[in-house]
Each structure stands twice: as structure tokens, then as C-alpha cells.
Amino acid sequence: MTANAQSAWDFDALTLDGAPAPLSAYKGKVALIVNTASQCGLTPQYKGLQELYERYKDRGFVVLGFPSNQFGAQEPGTNKEIATFCETSFGVTFPMFGKIDVNGDSAHPLYKWLKAEQPGMLGLESIKWNFSKFLIGRDGQIAERYAPTTTPESVAADIEKLLA
């Protein structure tokens, strides 16, 4: 990542198996970036996220999952355990990345950028809980930020607009 990042596509991350993954690979796509957890009351949202991915992937949409253990220690597993859980419990086939921090000094640079570019309620930048969502346009800019309780299904209309 460069200090002067201009879009979500300017960042790199690691996949669940530790391989480097430049987000520029998703340039030109519409993306929903989500911080995830396997032991959260909102974990069933994985099902809705997978359904969105399957519904729109052929039109240039992708879900990008970023596990984080910062909220109630609800993602305690290793990256391998997370991968197995997502695949066996919810049939997740969308890209998942290695576990990261989304808040604090050690927050992943992507999340530092997302929060600065699109603060939440009352202008607060911090991520409040698991399954906070950022909808990214094809240009890598943030189109919308959603609360953790916003269901994947309820963002479908916004995704449709960006894919049109």
C-alpha cells in the first residue's frame, strides 16, 4: 500500500493460505468488503453474502471477506480453521483473506483507508462490530457503508445500481 492510496484497489492483503493478493485484481468489479467472524450472532450472514456473490458474480461483483478477532474474540481460529468453517458451514466460495485487525494502530491499511474515507454514524471512524460492510464501485471508491446488522439481502438494490 502506498501512503497516498486513491482507491480500495491500491492495497494488498494475504489470502487465508498466506499468499499475497493485490486487491488491484478486482479493479473494474463492484465489491462488498466485509469484516467477518465465525462465532458471532451475525455469522449466518455468510449465507446471504454467498448468495449475493453467486447471484451477481457473472456481472462483475465480488464479496471480499476479512476475518477479524477484535469483537468479543469471536474469530479465534487459525486461517486454516476459518477456511474450513466457511467452506463446510456456508459453502463460501468468495475470496476470503487472512485474519486482520480492523481497528487500532495495527489495523490493516485497507481498513484505515475505508474508515477515513467513509466514517460511520456521527462521523466515528471505528468499525463497531463483525460484519460491517463497505460497498465499493468499479472505480475502487466507496459507494456506501453499512452497519453490521444490515443484511446482505438488503444491499442487493445498491449492488444492482452499481452493476447497471
Are 134 and 111 in contact by the 8 Å Cβ rule? The answer is no
The residues near 7 (Cβ < 8 Å, ≥ 6 apart) are 139, 140, 141
CA distance 33 to 22: 14
Active site residue 40: yes
CA distance 138 to 110: 16
CA distance 164 to 101: 33
- Residue in 33, 34, 40, 107 annotated catalytic: 40
- What sign for the dihedral angle of Cα 59, 65, 71, 75? positive
Active site residues: 40
